[in-house]
Amino acid sequence: MNHRDALPWLALEAIPGLGPETARRLLEAFPDPAAAFFAPHALLAPLVGDRIAAAIARGIDPDAHRASLEWLAAAENHLVPITDAAYPGRLKTLPDAPPWLYLKGDPAWLARPMLAIVGSRNATPQGLRDAQAFAQLLAEAGFVIVSGLAEGIDAAAHEGALAGGGTVAVVGTGLDRVYPARHRDLAHRVAAGGALVSEFPLGTPPKAGHFPRRNRIISGLSLGVLVVEAALNSGSLITARLAGEQGREVFALPGSIHSALSKGCHLLIKQGAKLVESAADILEELRCILPATEAPHPPAGTDTPGRDTGAEDPLLSLMGTEPASLDELLARSGLTVDSLSAMLLTHELEGRIAALPGGRYQRIH
Task: Report the pLDDT value the prediction gives residue 308, as an integer from 0 to 100.
Answer: 40
Query: Between these two residues, 318 and 199, which has the higher pLDDT value?
Result: 199
The tally of domains found in the chain comes to: 3
Q: Does the pLDDT value for residue 315 go beyond 90?
A: no
Q: Does the pLDDT value for residue 294 go beyond 70?
A: no
23 lies in some domain: yes
Query: Between these two residues, 310 and 161, which has the higher pLDDT value?
Result: 161
C-alpha distances (whole Å) from 290 to each of 4, 145, 297 are 37, 16, 12
The alpha carbons of the chain give a radius of gyration, in whole angstroms, of 23
81, 100 in Cβ contact below 8 A? yes
Shared-domain flag, residues 64 and 125: no
Sign of the C-alpha dihedral, residues 249, 250, 254, 255? positive
Mean pLDDT of the chain: 88
Shared-domain flag, residues 166 and 249: yes
Domain around 45: 1-72
Shared-domain flag, residues 163 and 273: yes
Give the pLDDT confidence of 183-232 residue by residue, as tens digits.
Answer: 999 999 999 999 999 999 999 999 999 999 999 999 999 999 999 999 99
Spacing of C-alpha 26 from chain mean position:
29
Give the residue-averaged pLDDT of 235-260.
Answer: 94
301 lies in some domain: no
Shared-domain flag, residues 47 and 112: no
Give the residue-averaged pLDDT of 334-341.
Answer: 72
Task: Report the pLDDT value the prediction gives residue 327, as an integer from 0 to 100.
Answer: 81
182 lies in some domain: yes
Give the residue-averaged pLDDT of 66-91.
Answer: 94
What long-range pairs does 237-240 form, CB within 8 A, spacing at least 24?
237/264, 237/267, 237/268, 238/212, 239/116, 239/118, 239/215, 240/118, 240/268, 240/273
Shared-domain flag, residues 154 and 274: yes
Q: Does the pLDDT value for residue 339 go beyond 80?
A: no
Q: Does the pLDDT value for residue 42 go beyond 60?
A: yes
Task: Report the pLDDT value the prediction gives residue 336, as an integer from 0 to 100.
Answer: 73
Q: What is the pTM of this model?
A: 0.79
328, 345 in Cβ contact below 8 A? no
Question: Where residue 302 falls among pLDDT bands split at 50, 70, 90?
Answer: very low
Question: Where residue 3 falls among pLDDT bands split at 50, 70, 90?
Answer: low
Question: Where residue 310 falls among pLDDT bands split at 50, 70, 90?
Answer: very low
Shared-domain flag, residues 129 and 60: no
Task: Report the pLDDT value the prediction gives residue 309, as an integer from 0 to 100.
Answer: 37
Give the residue-averaged pLDDT of 69-87.
Answer: 94
Shared-domain flag, residues 244 and 214: yes
Give the pLDDT confidence of 112-123 residue by residue, as tens digits.
Answer: 999 999 999 999
Shared-domain flag, residues 27 and 157: no
Q: Does the pLDDT value for residue 301 go beyond 50?
A: no
Q: Supply the CATH number for residue 182's domain.
A: 3.40.50.450
Question: Where residue 335 falls among pLDDT bands split at 50, 70, 90?
Answer: confident
Give the pLDDT confidence of 25-40 residue by residue, as tens digits.
Answer: 999 999 999 999 999 9
CA–CA gap between residue 245 and residue 243 (Å, rounded): 5
Return the ∠ at Cα 69 (arms to 68 and 70), rounded to 5°: 90
Give the residue-averaged pLDDT of 174-188.
Answer: 97
Which residue, 100, 71, 96, is CA-closest to 86? 100
